[in-house]
A and B are shown apart, each in its own frame.
Chain A
Amino acid sequence: DAGVIQSPRHEVTEMGQEVTLRCKPISGHDYLFWYRQTMMRGLELLIYFNNNVPIDDSGMPEDRFSAKMPNASFSTLKIQPSEPRDSAVYFCASSRGRTSGNTIYFGEGSWLTVV
């Protein structure tokens, strides 16, 4: 079975540009999560969806960040405009929720560098 698929794997962009990160969750998983990893803050939850509906977006840093899940097999995380402090690894993850013991499965991450 395919795991969580993220694209792009690496992105280098200039400050002020729009960045779109993409995620395809594992088929049959009804929870999707976006996490960000930085040295300072570790792995922090940005937002998560259940059945394509955003449940908790309290971790989204500011209005420059937005996330959508138009269907069960696709989600995007958009940063507009991007800033150097957004440089981090962004992970998408999915799960079946508590019916699977709440184990979530991560993609390989999107490495974002904003210069």
Chain B
Amino acid sequence: GQNIDQPTEMTATEGAIVQINCTYQTSGFNGLFWYQQHAGEAPTFLSYNVLDGLEEKGRFSSFLSRSKGYSYLLLKELQMKDSASYLCAVRDSNYQLIWGAGTKLIIKP
């Protein structure tokens, strides 16, 4: 079957750095997405990786290793507004997105 694993919850301190990991086993691979979802709101797009390596976008970076079925989202200079759930999703061979259950990130002052 298809499976996306990410930690359920993480806690970090304002101003620090946090890395959220995602491992996947899917039937085919056509890209990996990270979305941010604040409580009670819709998911919003953060990043997309289809080739191995690091994609940097301001305070957020996303890394992909296709051979290891692994990705991480790196958040730097954490702010209180970064408290949210972070969703990892993989597009499979049918071009459908398979979603992880999300990682709830709690930022403490």
Does A pair with B? no
Enumerate chain B interface residues (CB-CB to A < 8 A).
none
Enumerate chain A interface residues (CB-CB to B < 8 A).
none
